[in-house]
Every structure is written in structure tokens, then in C-alpha cells.
Structure 1
Amino acid sequence: MIDFILQRLDAEASAIETEWNASDRGTRTRHCAIDSLLPDDVALAIHAAFPRDGEGFMTRKSFREHKRTSANLDQYPLILADITYALQNPRVTQRISELTGMDGMEPDPHLYAGGLSMMFPGDFLNPHIDNSHESSRSKYRRINLLYYVTPEWRPEYGGNLELWDDQVTSPVTIPSLFNRLVLMETNKLSWHSVSQVVPGRGPRCCVSNYYFSEKSPTGDDYYHVTSFTGRPEQKIRRALGLVDNAARNYARERLGMTRATDKGYSGTLANDE
């Protein structure tokens, strides 16, 4: 898998650099998509390793999000761990660092933020910015890597990544197509969401990874928990998000609450998208 990934990165190097650095696209969040990351038979095998009913996955359900996640890779076929850690391999990490121009990237071997996600009909993630650091708060989150593996998935099925402008008024949509890897910069303005999966579709399956670095994306020190807002038409959720985000930031900063409280749910898993 590592060799396949490196071959695709090299083959698409020029396109990756161009797309990553493109401007005036409705969002300042740099991003790019690499299609056909692995041979189709390998990607199909990865998809087949997901439990069809989400067995063993943690359900996350609130006004912020509906989805199921797991970082317990040892409970599932080995191929799910293989693809997760292939994307964390030092050669892959270094190549992506070079292509994005972001030096000093480090992977997330303890899966503080990464792992597996499944989205069933009605599931969604409202606009949010990811928590700024890993568990020790010594490294900033810098790049999200989202690998989609559901065969024949179409944009109209929902479950698509959406990148928003600074005011969260208009999104750029990136369909979660089969065998597609999306790279997305993350910082304190990288608002993103996942559109609701339509009835009769799903689960939409994704392997998530995150890179960190000691260097701040903005050059200054900052910290925040994962912070949610509503879509433009969701006025109440927007107001609720302001209160919820402030409360959880206060709890984390002043009361030293655990990362589970930081994430807004009970459990040992942290996984964003």
C-alpha cells in the first residue's frame, strides 16, 4: 500500500501542488483530491472490511453531528490497520509534506484524532473547526487526510466534505467518491462539514488520518476545542454553538477536563472529519 500511495502521489505531484495552492475558490482552506489512490481491488477489500452495521463503532449523536466512529483497529480485519498506518508511514508523510509545502509534519500513531468512520442515512457533521492540538497540546493539527472507500458513491447521496468561507456562509463541496484521498489544511479558520446522507444510502465509509507539527499554522500560539456552528439557515444551532463552544473551551482551559469532555461526548475515542 505504501508503494502504491507513493506512486500515485508522484504521478499526480503537479496537479496536487496546483490544486493545493489554488486561490479564489470560495474558501481559504487549502485542499486537494487524489483519485484512484490504490488499485480498485485493494480499495474494495478495505471497504469490505468495514462492518456493514457499524458493529463495535461508537455512535456520536447530538445537535453537532450524527455518525459512527472507531479507533479500535484490532477488532477488524488487518487491512483497515494496514491502510491507516500506510498513510502514516514516514515516506508518505514526508512526500505529502513536500507536496503541500508544510514542513515538519508528524502522523498520529495513537489515533488521538484518526480512525474509521461510517455514516448512515440521516448522518451529518455540522460546520466545525477541529480541535487545534493533539492530546499533549504540544503539536498543532495541520493536515486532515480523508480516504473514502464506498463503491459507486455519488455526490447526490450526501456524505460529502464541505469547506466553508470564514463566515460560514457558502461551502465548496468535495464529493466523497470511491478510492479518493482528500488532503485538507486545518487551522483556526478551516471550517468544514459533511452533508447529510440521504435516505436509502450508506454507510459511507472513510479512513481518517491527521498530521501534526510543533509549528503553529499562523505563527502565533492558540488553542481551541472542536468548535461547531450551524449551517446558515440554522440560526438556533448557531446560537447554541457559541454557548457550547465557549463552555467546552472554558472547561478544558480552566478545569482541566478530559479529552472526552473536550470533544463533547463520553468515551475514549477522538475522530474528526
Structure 2
Amino acid sequence: MHRHRVPAQFLRTLSKLTGIEDLIYDPWYLGGGTHESRNGTSLDPHIDANYHPVEPWHRRLNVVLYLNRHWEDEWGGCLELFHDPQSLSTADRHVTPAFKRCAIFETSERSWHGFSQIRLPPAKAHLTRRSIALFFYTLERPAVETIDRHTVHYVKRPLPVHFTSGHVLSASDVACIHDAISQRDAHIRQLYDQNAALRNAQDSGTGGALLYWAKRAYLRLRLRR
């Protein structure tokens, strides 16, 4: 992939709009670039990784440009901004991914965002939700906002607020419950797979052999006590 340069004037404009000075553009588009999502898909609420994947840069800003020439609000796929996605199933703010619309928001430990499920009418089911995402960084970050490095943190959406005692389930309610259980199970399987991959990585190569002998020596030492 070729490295690209962002004009300094554009970076200065972003700084003026957001109040974040000395922004750095990632020329490798790591995690960013073009995104395309099909009918029926959604993106769970999440906060982004707080550092660049390779460089020691603090991630500070997301810029998302939407490329959907014809998109209606009722089709879903809206950018969702949450104050607390773990307690409320509905977003505090929705942004329709209309053509040439640009969403700019800070990357922080409270910038929860995602997008709602895409529900296209049958005649439009061939369409996809398209966007370009650019991420910007700084060398420093205010100390009160700086925490240890972490990856993306997702949360599953809680059940809709109308799921209360005495409510009679509709067909869509049942489908919602099945979908929630299916997502939960998929998430658990993913965690198991990640754990297995980490263990296999530990056990392989010279590092794995050294770790094995270190653990074996530790256990033998404990048995002698």
C-alpha cells in the first residue's frame, strides 16, 4: 500500500474544528479506509483502541465520510452515539449516512458509537452502506485522559425498553431475543478461540519451550515446600 500525505491545511482545519492540536495522519490507513456493510448487518456500540497499532501515538479523532447516494432514515445503518450503551438500548444521537455527509468525533474512553441494523426494502436489498474512515493521532494526550493501552471495547446492546413484566412477546420480539442469544454465543466462541490462539502461541517456538520449563521448575519448587 502506498503512503499518502494529508495537506497541512487540512490538519490545521481539523485542529481548529476540534480543538485538538498537532494532529498526525496515519498514512497506512490501519483499521481505516473504505468500509462496506450489507443488508441486515449492524455494528455494536464500542470505544476504539486508544493507541495506534504500531506507533506510540494517541488516537484522538475519527473522520467518517459517507458515500451512499440514496439513503433513507428508515433504512437504518445510522451512526449511533451513546452516553452509556450498557444501560440504554437506544442511542442518544443518530446520524443518517447520507451522501457526502462527514461525521467527526473525538476518540476517547467515553466516545461510544456504532451503527444501527441495516433494514433495506426488498427493492433496495442490493444496496450497501459505504464509507471512508480516517483516524488521526497526537504524540501526547492530557494526563487525565491517558490510560494503559487497550484494543477496541465492544458491548452488546441491552434488550429494548418495552421488554418489561407483563409484556406479550410479538414475533419481532422473539426474533430479537434469538438474535441476542446468537450474538452472545458467537462472542463467547470468539473469546474461547482467542484464548486458544494465545495458549498455542505461548506453547510454540523457543519462547514456548522456555515458558514450559519455567512453569515446570516453579511447580517442582512448590511441591518441595
Q: Which TM class, normalised by the smaller chain length?
A: 0.5 to 0.7
Please report how far the alpha carbon of residue 166 of structure 1 lies from its aligned counterpart in structure 2 after TM superposition.
2.9
Structure-1 separation of matches of 2:157 and 2:48: 16
Runs of 4 or more off by more than 4 Å in structure 1? 234-249
1:173 aligns with 2:94: yes
Secondary structure of 1:163's counterpart equals strand
Q: Which residue of 2 aligns with 1:212?
A: 137
Query: For residues 189 and 140 of structure 2, what CA distance do their matches in structure 1 show?
Result: 29
The answer as to whether partners of 1:231 and 1:238 remain within 8 angstroms in 2 is: no
| Cross-structure match for 1:192 | 113
CA distance in 1, matches of 2:20, 2:184: 32
**Structure 1 pair 194/128, CA: closer, same or farther in 2 (3 Å)?**
same
Quick check: 161-170 or 142-151, which moved more?
161-170
Identity over aligned pairs, percent: 25
Distance in 1 (alpha carbons) for counterparts of 2:82 and 2:33:
24
Cα distance in 2, alignment partners of residues 100 and 140 from structure 1: 15
CA contact (8 A) 1:115 1:209 kept: yes
Is the alpha carbon distance of 1:225 and 1:244 closer, same or farther for their aligned partners in structure 2, counting shifts above 3 Å? farther
Question: 2:156: which partner in 1?
Answer: 230
Contact 2:45 2:157 in 1 (8 A): yes
Q: 1:145 and 1:127 mapped to 2: Cα distance? A: 17
Partner residue of 1:61? none
Give CA-to-partner distance per residue, 1:3-46, whole Å, 9 cap, x none: xxxxxxxxxxxxxxxxxxxxxxxxxxxxxxxxxxxxxxxxxxxx
Q: CA deviation at 1:221?
A: 3.2
1:97 to 1, 5, 15: 15
- How far residue 114 of structure 1 moved from its aligned partner, in angstroms, is 1.5
Counterpart Cα distance in 1 of 2:185 and 2:111? 19
Query: Alpha-carbon deviations, 1:163-197, whole Å to 9, x = none?
Result: 11135424111111111111011112211111111
Match runs of 1:231-246 below 5 Å: 231-233=157-159, 234=180, 237=183
Matches within 5 A, 1:67-106: 88-106=6-24
Contact 1:132–1:225 under 8 Å retained in 2 = yes
The secondary structure found in structure 1 opposite 2:24 is coil
Count of equivalent residues: 171
> Normalising to structure 1: TM-score of the pair?
0.54
Question: SS of the counterpart of 1:98?
Answer: helix
Conserved 8 A contact 1:108-1:114: no
Secondary structure, aligned partner of 1:91 = helix
CA deviation after TM superposition for structure 1 residue 125, in Å = 0.9
In structure 1, the gaps of 5 or more residues are 1-71, 75-80, 257-273
Q: Aligned pair in 2 of structure 1 residues 208, 167: CA closer, same or farther (>3 Å)?
A: closer
Question: In 2, are the aligned partners of 1:141 and 1:212 still within 8 Å (CA)?
Answer: yes
Match of 1:122 in 2: 40
| CA distance in 2 between partners of 1:143 and 1:113 (Å) | 13
1:47 alignment counterpart: none
TM alignment of 1:233-272, pairs within 5 A? 233=159, 234=180, 237=183
- Contact 1:124 1:194 (C-alpha < 8 Å) held by counterparts: yes
Q: Is the 8 A contact 1:229 1:237 kept in 2?
A: no
Higher-Rg structure is 2
Contact 1:105 / 1:213 at 8 angstroms: preserved in 2? Answer: yes
TM-score if structure 2 supplies the norm length? 0.64
Q: Indicate the RMSD between aligned Cα atoms, in angstroms.
A: 3.2
**1:242 Cα offset (Å):** 9.0
Q: Which deviations, in whole Å up to 9, do the C-alpha atoms of 1:86-127 show, x marking residues without a partner? A: 8x3221111111111111211111111211011111121111
